[in-house]
Structure 1
Amino acid sequence: MPISVRKPEHNPLHILKSSLREKGRPATIAGPMVRYSKLPFRELVRQYNTDIVYTPMILAREFVRNEIARVSDFTTNEDDRSVVVQVGCNNVEDLLKFVEMIHPYVDGIGLNCGCPIREQVREGIGAALMSEPELVSSMVRAVKEKYGDKVCLETKIRIHKDLEETVRFVKMVEEAGVDYITVHGRTKNTRSSQPADFDAIKLVKETVSVPVVANGDCFSMEDFHKIAEYTKVDGVMAVRGILANPALFAGHETTPWAAVEFFWDLASSYGLPFRITQHHLSQMLDKLVSRRLLKEMNELTCLVDLIDWFDDHFILKRRMDKGFATAIAPVWKTDREELARM
């Protein structure tokens, strides 16, 4: 069955502009994660007050040239809204081809100008584009001149050591027609263990008139509100925080057991690869079980053993079971709760 036409209320720009008025808070956003923000996870976080969800970054050059890449890199369905596909690209030609292929199936397209992974930078994409404001502006302008309001286009950036360069960059992409800007408050060389620079994000918000999204160090709703209040942004993006706790934006301090059961149902229904499934569950269980048990789970080597491990330790309800995806705390098998705390 074909995907129906995108609805205006799912447009990220509409959500960013209306969220404070309609919900009393900035938009809640699950950011792009290499390998891990695939369709099952996107569906999961939408159960927990997430307004906009990103796909993993897709390389435009591979996507437009290779049918296998298209099939493996992007899957969606009728309920996958509001969804933004992130693209890695460094030239107008590939970006226009990519947008032409994918824009009917997404609500927005995000140009990645911030990924610090060495291989991506070497290819001239991701954070490499932070030193190429003219190139980024030309790509933004080409898309907006061709598609106008039919395509919602974002640029996701990091900051420069010299913030005057950041100001120049965002002014240029705004003039080129970008719809909104996401700012990760770290330079491409700043370690994630160092605090994000919210003064820099605040500066960008004060510099441009398009909506701005803050990215960095959002691990709880307390963080969300502090970031929003300090920077006055239109949306707050969580990445590592929401990977560890998909219910972050619903106010849960740790992953509720309901989310674990719901994720199991989605991962098995969609056929998520074993290692990705295992990693998601490892992140979710990190604060729920002992180090020893977590290590035991991470050493499993196949999906059948992973399912058996969960059934040995927990009462893991399936969709047809009464009370499926309703529990907050883990539901242990009778003799396991004490073991989990060891």
Structure 2
Amino acid sequence: MQSRSVYEVKKQVSIPKPKLLKPENDPLHIIKTRKFTHGRPAMIAGPMVRYSKLPFRQLCRQYDADIVYSPMILAREYVRNGNARLADLSTNGDDTPLIIQVGVNNVADLLKFVEMVAPYCDGVGINCGCPIKEQVREGIGCALIYNADLLCQMVSAVKSKYGDSLRLETKIRIHDDLDQTVLLCKSLCDAGVDWITIHGRTRTTRSSQPVNLEAIRYIVEKIQDKKVPVVANGDCFQRADVDDIAEFTKVDGVMAVRGLLANPALFSGYDTCPWSCVEKFWYYAIEYGGLPYQLLQHHLYCMLENMGLERKLLKEMMEIKSTGELIDWFDTRFNFKRFGDGWAQSTAIPYRQHN
């Protein structure tokens, strides 16, 4: 199915209504019920700036991701600039359940943004966890966990307008004082948030430092009377991590981000990226189009590095400058199959034998 961009909405064109939520595409229902229907927590592919585009989202769904996020989209640009809308969001009928993540610092922009994207997604997530200084200075990302009143006003405004016809999530980081995070989460619950994703690091904690699962467990325990699901984020790199994190923290879902970039089949139990991922990603990237070459190349690099492709070949691949040349390189180096018979069946790298 060909992708379609969310186009600029003219004043004279009425905006479609939000999608109808059914159990199979309602993210809140999925998060609440996976432990009963599947014997495991909900498995969620989190937002990655630049990388969570349509081809990668569809790839993650092929390997048991229950819910998938878009990259963060800046509301102020999206609601004012048609070119931003064309560039930031492409989707199709198979792209579900989809959460569109937004970077926003005021109620008006958020309401307009939600109105424009609601017909194309199953929920919206407010980014309250991005630690990048430029975003924080704009009052976006991590800045919002220190501005609870504004954040709760935004949540309340959306839920007052849309109710259960649209799901709303907040993805936060923790404070140095965990009780401050508990108060924030309780306020978000009272404002009507559907679920909270907690990244178990503070704004200044580097990703190289272990995630604080004890903090997530503490927060879950303190807000359990609110009956709002919690998703844990941080350091999910293997399928076993999903169960271990959920068991320790008592969350309803587990989100992976960096782990999926290297191994999109993580949730299906593959310890390393299978070759089938590579061939499927190529198919989605070409079929849907719109993926800049540098992103295509980087996705393939991350997957092949995870598979153990030798450094010499990785370097060789990164020196290629175009999609056509890269396809030729794959054909030369590997038994690279297209969509059809025998496609996406291999696990190991199918090196081409040279005489």
- Smaller-chain TM-score bracket: over 0.9
Conserved? CA contact 2:263–2:272, under 8 Å: yes
Residue aligning to 1:340: none
Ranges in structure 2 where 5+ consecutive residues have no aligned partner: 5-15
Q: Match for 1:238 among 246, 252, 256?
A: 256
**1:304 corresponding residue in structure 2:** 324
Aligned ranges for residues 159-238 of structure 1 at < 5 Å? 159-208=174-223, 209-238=227-256
Alignment-derived partner of residue 252 in structure 1: 270
Hey, what's the Cα distance between the residues in 2 that align with 1:268 and 1:52? Answer: 23
Residue 88 of structure 2: aligned partner: 73
AA aligned to 1:201 is: I
Contact 2:106 2:150 in 1 (8 A): yes
Q: Matched residues in 1 for 2:52 and 2:343: separation? A: 23
Q: Which amino acid aligns with 1:254?
A: T
Please state whether the residue corresponding to 2:100 is helix, strand or coil: strand
Letter in 2 for 1:297: M
Larger RCO (CA within 8 A; separation ≥ 6): 2
Which secondary structure does the structure 2 equivalent of 1:327 belong to?
coil
* Alpha-carbon distance, 1:294 to partner: 1.0
Could you say what secondary structure the match of 1:24 adopts?
coil
Supply the distance in 2 between the matched residues of 1:4 and 1:186 (Cα, whole angstroms): 33
Superposed CA RMSD: 1.5
Q: Identity of counterpart residues, as a percentage? A: 59
Structure 2 vs 1, CA of residues 316 and 108 (structure 1 numbering), >3 Å: closer, same or farther? same
Residue 4 of structure 1 deviates from its aligned partner by 9.6
Q: Which moved more, 1:161-170 or 1:211-220?
A: 161-170
Letter in 2 for 1:333: R
1:116 to 131, 136, 161: 131
Which of the residues 65, 68, 73 maps onto 1:50?
65
Equivalent of 2:163, from 148, 151, 171? 148
3-state SS of paired residue (2:176): coil
1:8 alignment partner in structure 2: 22
CA distance in 1, matches of 2:312, 2:133: 33
TM-score by length of 2: 0.92
Q: Per-residue displacement from partner, 1:196-237 (whole Å, max 9, x unpaired)? A: 000111122112220000000000011111101101110000
User: For this pair of structures, how many residues does the alignment match?
Assistant: 335
Match among 313, 316, 323 for residue 333 of structure 2: 313
Contact 1:84/1:107 (8 A) holds in 2: yes
| Runs of 4+ that moved beyond 6 A | 1-4
- Structure 1: gaps spanning 5 or more residues: 337-342
1:169-193: CA deviation from partner (whole Å, max 9, x where unpaired): 1111111110000000001110000
Q: Distance in 1 between matches of 2:197 and 2:320?
A: 37
Within 5 A, what are the aligned runs for 1:326-341? 326-335=345-354
Equivalent residue, structure 1, for 2:53: 38
**Cα pair 2:123 2:169 within 8 Å, conserved:** yes
Q: Residue 262 and residue 166 in structure 1: after superposition, are their counterparts in 2 closer, same or farther (change >3 A)?
A: same
Structure 1 partner of 2:76: 61
CA displacement at 1:3 relative to structure 2: 11
SS in 2 for 1:287: helix
**C-alpha displacement at 1:45, in angstroms?**
0.7
State how far apart, in whole Å, the 1-side matches of 2:220 and 2:176 are.
Answer: 17
Structure 1 residue aligned with 2:297: 278
Give the CA deviation at 1:5. 3.9
Q: Distance in 1 between matches of 2:166 and 2:21?
A: 12
Superposed CA deviations along residues 83-102 of structure 1, whole A, max 9, x for unmatched, are 10000001000001111111
Contact 1:44 1:246 in 2 (8 A): yes
Aligned partner of 1:126 in structure 2 is: 141
How far does residue 38 in structure 1 lie from its aligned partner after superposition?
Answer: 0.6
Q: Is the 8 A contact 1:6 1:106 kept in 2?
A: no
2:102 equivalent to 1:87: yes
- Partner Cα distance (1:26, 1:98) in 2: 30
Query: Is 2:261 aligned against 1:261?
Result: no
Residues 19 and 121 of structure 2 are in contact (CA less than 8 Å); yes or no, is this contact kept in structure 1?
A: no
**1:105 Cα offset (Å):** 1.1
Structure 2 CA distance, aligned partners of 1:43 and 1:236?
A: 19
With normalisation by structure 1, the TM-score equals 0.95
Q: Deviations over 1:273-309 (max 9, x none)?
A: 1111001000100132011211221122211221111
Separation (CA, whole Å) in 1 of partners of 2:300 and 2:315: 12
